[in-house]
Amino acid sequence: MDVSEPQPQPHVVILPFPAQGHIKPMLMLAQLFCNNANFYVTFVNTHHTHNLIHKLINKTNFKRLFPTLRFEAIPDGLPPQHPRSGPQVLDIFFTMGFESKAKFKDVLTGLHQQEEWSPPTCIIADGIMSFAIDVAEDLHIPVITFRTYNASCTWLYFHIQNLIQQGEIPFQGDDDMDRPIACIPGFESLLRRRDLPSICRLEDAQNPILQFYITQTSAMTRASALILNTFDELESPIISKLGSLFPKIYTIGPLHALFKSRTTHYTESDSSNGSLREQDMTCLTWLDSQPSKSVIYVSFGSVATLTRDQLLEFWYGLVNSEKPFLWVIREGLLLGDDTVVETPAELEVGTTESGCIVRWAPQEEVLTHRAVGGFLTHSGWNSTLESILAGIPMICWPQLADQQVNSRCVSELWKVGLDMKDFCDRSTVEKMVRNLMEGKREEIMKSIAGNSKMACDSVKEGGSSYCNLEKLIEDIRSMRSTTKNIAHVGNE
C-alpha cells in the first residue's frame, strides 16, 4: 500500500446510558471530536431520548457546526407510555438487554456496510452499558469505557463486593449511619455508612440493582481505557489508584468548559448541552434584578424526587432564610400521589417577595450569573463540577447513585460546600442556607476559589484536561490500522 495515500478520518461510535446526566458529558465529547479532530461520530441514543434531543436542538445550526456528527437510535425495551424518570428510571437497567444489544449490533454492522463514512474505529460506551463491550468484542472493534461518575465514586464501586464480604453492606437507613467505613483504600478516614452510594441501603446483598452495578463495574475492566469527566488536580490520588485497573485513563473534565475553550464561532443555540427539557430563560432576567451573590439557586436534577412534605420543608426553609432563591421545580419532581400541593399563604407571599420558580433552568448560565451566591443541589456529578468551575459553594442533599459520595467529597475532602444528606426539615434548610451565604462563607469561598482556578486552568491550552483530550484523539487515530479490514465482521 502507498503510505502516502490519505487515510480516512476515524469514526467513533458513542453509546450513553439514556439519562441526562450521562448524555450531557458524552455528547460534549462527541462535539469536541467533530470540532477539534474532524472525526466522524455516530451518537447512539434510545428512541425516547433521540426524540427529545431532536425536539430541542436547532437542527440547521447544529448540522452546520457539526457536519460529521449524526444520531442513531435503538430501543430501550420499555413501552412508550413509561415515564423513564424518578424511581422508575431503574427499570431501564433490566430492559436494555437482548433487544437493545441486538439492535446496537445492527447499527454497527450497518455502519460497516455504508460507503459515505469510514467503518467504526472504536466504541466509547457508558460504564453501565456493558452489552456494548460484548458487541465490540464480537465485532473486533476497540472499546473505551466512559464512566460519568467522578474518579472517587468509580473507585468506590470497584469495592462494593468487598464491602459485602466485610459485612459493611447492605444496611438499613437507620442503622448507625455515622459508622466509619475504613476498608476502601484511599478513603480510610473519609466515609461513613451514610456516605456510601444509595444502592448500599438495600435490604439484600442479592438485590438485582446492587448486583447490576457490581456486574457492570467489573465489565468495565474489559475495555482498553477509561474516560472520566474530572480533572487531575481535583482527584489525583484516586485517579492513580484506578490506574491499577485500567491501562489508560483520560481525565478530560470539566467537559462543558473544555468544549467552550476549544470551540469558537458558535452560540449556545448552535450546540447541544444534552438537556432533555426545555429551558426557561426568563429566570436570567429575574436574576438580573437581584443583588450580587445574594441568590441561592435550588435544583435537584433530572431524576431525584421529593414527597409533598419534603417539598414544603424545603420551601419553608428557603423563605425563612430570607435569601432570594431561584428554584427549579420540574415536572416529575414530586412522587406519585403528591403531585398536587396546596401552597400555604405565607409561602406564596414569601415566594412573591423573594423567589422565582421555574420548570427547568439553563444551569450553566445560572451558576455563572453575578447574582448567584450558592447552590442547593442533589450533588449529581455534572452539577457538582459545574458549581466548582463557577466558584459557587454548595449545600448538598443527595438521593441517588453517586450523589452521597459526591456530597461527602464536597464537604470534607474539597471543602467547597456543606453536606445536608438525610435531613431536610425547615430549620435545617434555613440554617444551612444562612451558613452558606453568611456564617461559613468566607472559609468555603477560599477553598472553592482555588478549586475553580484549577478547573479553569485544566481546560486551557497546556492544561491537564486539554492535553489528555489530545492524547485521547491521538490514540484513537492510531486505532485505524487495526480496524480498517473488519467490515465483513458481523455478516459471518
The reply to whether 15 and 146 lie within a common domain is yes
The more confident residue out of 144 and 109 is 144
Q: What would the pLDDT profile of 61-78 be if each residue is shown by its tens digit?
A: 888 888 999 999 999 888
Is there a domain that residue 282 lies in?
no
Structural domains in the chain (count): 2
Q: Is 48 a catalytic residue?
A: no
Q: In 3-state terms, what secondary structure has residue 40?
A: strand
The reply to whether 33 and 153 lie within a common domain is yes
Is there a domain that residue 1 lies in?
no
Q: What would the pLDDT profile of 219-274 be if each residue is shown by its tens digit?
A: 999 999 999 999 999 999 999 999 999 999 999 999 999 998 887 655 554 445 55
DSSP code of residue 229: S
The reply to whether 464 and 439 lie within a common domain is no
Q: Which of 209-223, 311-325, 334-348, 426-440 shows the lowest mean pLDDT across its residues?
A: 334-348
At residue 485, the pLDDT reads: 44
Residue 85 has pLDDT above 80, yes or no: no
The reply to whether 186 and 323 lie within a common domain is no
Q: Which of 40-49, 85-94, 284-293, 328-337 shows the lowest mean pLDDT across its residues?
A: 85-94
Joined grid coordinates for residue 240: 492513580
* H-helix segments, 368-483: 381-390, 403-408, 426-434, 441-458, 464-477, 480-483
Residue 124 has pLDDT above 60, yes or no: yes
Query: b/e string for 194-203 if b means 16 or more Cβ within 10 A?
Result: bbbbbbbbbe
Separation between Cα atoms, residue 205 and residue 192, nearest integer Å:
19
pTM above 0.85, yes or no: yes
With pLDDT > 70 as the criterion, what percentage of the chain qualifies?
91
The pLDDT confidence band at residue 88, using thresholds 50, 70 and 90, is confident
Is there a domain that residue 470 lies in?
yes
Q: Is 288 a catalytic residue?
A: no
The more confident residue out of 210 and 269 is 210
**Structural domain containing residue 415:** 290-454
Which of the residues 11, 22, 112, 256 is marked catalytic? 22
Q: Are 148 and 127 in contact (CB under 8 A)?
A: yes
The reply to whether 143 and 174 lie within a common domain is yes
CATH of residue 33 = 3.40.50.2000
The reply to whether 333 and 412 lie within a common domain is yes
Is there a domain that residue 299 lies in?
yes
Which of the residues 76, 112, 126, 270 is marked catalytic? 126
With pLDDT > 90 as the criterion, what percentage of the chain qualifies?
63
At residue 344, the pLDDT reads: 84
DSSP code of residue 151: H
Separation between Cα atoms, residue 309 and residue 161, nearest integer Å:
35
Q: What would the pLDDT profile of 385-412 be if each residue is shown by its tens digit?
A: 999 999 999 999 999 889 999 999 999 9
The pLDDT confidence band at residue 326, using thresholds 50, 70 and 90, is very high
Is there a domain that residue 2 lies in?
no
The reply to whether 127 and 252 lie within a common domain is yes
Is there a domain that residue 4 lies in?
no
At residue 300, the pLDDT reads: 94
Is there a domain that residue 256 lies in?
yes
